[in-house]
Amino acid sequence: MARTTAALVRPTLGEISDLAQLGLAAAAAAIRNGDITSEAYTAALLQRAQVVADLNAFITIDEPTLLASAREADKARAAGTTAPLLGVPIGIKDSYLTKGLPTTLGLEGLANFLPYEDADAVLAIKDGGALVFGKNNLVEMSYGLTGHNARFGQVKNPHARDRVSGGSSSGSASSVAANIVPASLGGDTVGSIRVPASFCGVVGFKPTTGRWPRGGVAPISHTLDTTGVFARSVEDCALIDQVVTKESAAELSNGGYDLKGARLAFAPRQFLDLVDVEVEARFREVVRRLQDAGAEVVEVDLGDDFNVLVQTATWGIFAYETMGAISEFLRQHDLPTTFEEIYKGLKPQLHQAWGQIVLPGGAGATSAEAYQTALNASRPEIRRRLQRAFVEQGAQAILQPTTPCPAPLIQNQATVHIAGQEVSYLALANHTVSASSVGLPGISLPVGLSSSGLPIGLELDAPLGGDRALLNLASRVEVLWEA
């Protein structure tokens, strides 16, 4: 449960519900227009956080400082400030450095570490007027896909408390889905934004790798790491994207259900080979609805060895770069620990995994030769095959189910059952890893619920640098599932 201090003037239950349901853009507009105050909005979100504290979505919330910041935002608004996110609290994954607010990276040994600087993306949203609501729970060192943290607790799924939230940006997704915050910054190396977005039924946006700043965020792989965002709509993701990149506002379509002119591709042999029956049925229904709305949807084949190529190259790069990336981050930002101390303090399962694949000489460690092959041969080949779908087929995006199954049970998260097979939990990233492998922008959209009420996600991946076009397309697709 998040560490909090100070009592609040309690809004009524009705006020909490109404205010907490506001999306990012709507809340920002309401504060700018004087319809609500930042202080009232922030107080309602803090009350909401207390109501659903059992989700373990936050590690730290500094209520007095947050409320004081909200009052300062209200003063700034009265003085004429019109920053795009003025007075809106946003969650921050606890892998981001936050000046004066504890940053744990999910580790016991850093529970009281206070950075002297903000991560670049945190600075960007603060410059845009946003408030840091608190630090979201996460998997230790962002190394996992289910949301388990031995020190700070399992992050739970708001749709079903016995289900995982996904990870590693677990608390970020859960807090947005539970209406604690309207948006949260997360991180994605092989799926750590899109997997929890799918499981929790929110929008998760992974920009083109390197497009968003990564400075001050605990890394795994300099080749694959990407900062990004969770929100409850594409519009809200686009607003954060505008603030972080300092680009002009993305042009989002308001054309209703019209998808004429959109050309999309999907690869059934690669992305439907191991998926739950309900997930495949929903995905095919998605394709039919896209076609009914005027989109052209074409089938492509990325090759018999595509999945093996992607998995081998990406996981190899992921593990090979971890030790060096973390060690450099610790030195650069003066964290009061070492790689060796972190390794020693990891939970048993993760300690064992690092011993096998992260430490040089481990039984499953990637050799320097295999690493170079992944970088210089496998990645260009993966990029060539995906680019062929974009260029030769004229596809604006490639579609697939974001995850091959809905959120698994917390008690069964070491291995999961997909389409009747018991497989490693790493299979939860089977679809997200392809975009990560070559840095494509990707977005996960909620497209309905399973028969047991669990969210199902649709992923759209676009060409490198096609982030703005992807957000526009996603806003058109999103309309098909809005209530």
Distances, alpha carbon 384 to alpha carbons 67, 302, 447, in Å: 51, 10, 29
Secondary structure (H, E, C), 270-304:
HHCCCCCHHHHHHHHHHHHHHHHCCCEEEECCCCC
CB hemisphere CA count around 124 (13 angstroms): 22
Give every CB contact of residue 231 below 8 A, 6+ residues apart in sequence. Answer: 23, 24, 176, 182, 183, 202, 203, 205, 237, 240
C-alpha count within 13 angstroms, C-beta hemisphere, residue 36: 24
Hey, what are 449's tokens?
A: 């619920």
d(CA 336, CA 342): 11
Residue labelled with tokens 């998040």: 2
* Strands of 239-392, DSSP E: 263-266, 296-299
**Looking at residue 11, what is its pLDDT?**
61
Instruction: Check if the beta carbon of residue 459 is closer than 8 Å to that of residue 432.
Output: yes
Query: What CA–CA distances, in Å, run from 183 to 20, 26, 160, 179, 425?
Result: 11, 12, 21, 9, 26
Question: What are the distances in angstroms from CA 237 to CA 130, 170, 245, 365?
Answer: 14, 17, 12, 37
pTM score of the predicted model: 0.96
Tell me the three state secondary structure of residue 246.
Answer: coil
Task: HSE, CB side, 13 Å, CA atoms: give it for residue 284.
Answer: 8
> CA 97, CA 92: separation in Å to the nearest integer?
9
Question: Using CA atoms, how far apart are residues 355 and 363, in angstroms rounded to an integer?
Answer: 8
Contacts of 16 (CB under 8 A, 6+ apart): 44, 47, 48, 51
User: Cα–Cα distance between 322 and 328 in angstroms, integer?
Assistant: 10
Say what the alpha-carbon torsion angle 171, 174, 180, 184 is, to the nearest 10 degrees. Answer: 60
Catalytic residues: 93, 168, 192
Phi and psi torsions of 389, nearest 5°: -65, -40
* Residues pairing with 409 in the sheet: 163
Cα 373 → chain centroid: 29
Do the beta carbons of residue 237 and residue 203 sit within 8 Å? yes
- Give the whole-angstrom CA distance, residue 453 versus residue 200: 11
Directed axis angle between helix 13-20 and helix 38-51, to 10°?
100
CA separation for the pair 483, 479 (Å, rounded): 9
Written as tens digits, the pLDDT of the chain (483 aa) is 465 433 344 566 566 778 999 999 999 999 999 999 999 999 999 999 999 999 999 999 999 999 999 999 999 999 999 999 999 999 999 999 999 999 999 999 999 999 999 999 999 999 999 999 999 999 999 999 999 999 999 999 999 999 999 999 999 999 999 999 999 999 999 999 999 999 999 999 999 999 999 999 999 999 999 999 999 999 999 999 999 999 987 778 765 668 999 999 999 999 999 999 999 999 999 999 999 999 999 999 999 999 999 999 999 999 999 999 999 999 999 999 999 999 999 999 999 999 999 999 999 999 999 999 999 999 999 999 999 999 999 999 999 999 999 999 999 898 999 999 999 999 999 999 999 999 999 999 999 999 999 999 999 999 999 999 999 999 999 998 864
- Could you tell me the CATH superfamily of domain 263-307+369-481? Amidase signature (AS) domain (3.90.1300.10)
Instruction: Output the six-digit token pair for 98.
Output: 């936050």
Query: Which part of the chain is CATH 3.90.1300.10?
Result: 13-245, 263-307+369-481
212: number of Cβ within 10 Å: 24
Instruction: Kindly write down the DSSP assignment for every residue of 397-431, as one continuous string.
Output: EEEEESSSSSPPBGGG-SEEEETTEEEEGGGGGTT
Give the angle 380-385-388 at the CA atoms, nearest 5°.
Answer: 120
**What's the pLDDT at 10?**
55
CA diameter of the chain:
62
Secondary structure element (H or E) that encloses residue 196, with its range:
helix 194-200
Q: Given the DSSP bridges, would you call strands 421-424 and 415-418 parallel, antiparallel or unpaired?
A: antiparallel
d(CA 163, CA 158): 9
| CATH number assigned to the domain covering 13-245 | 3.90.1300.10
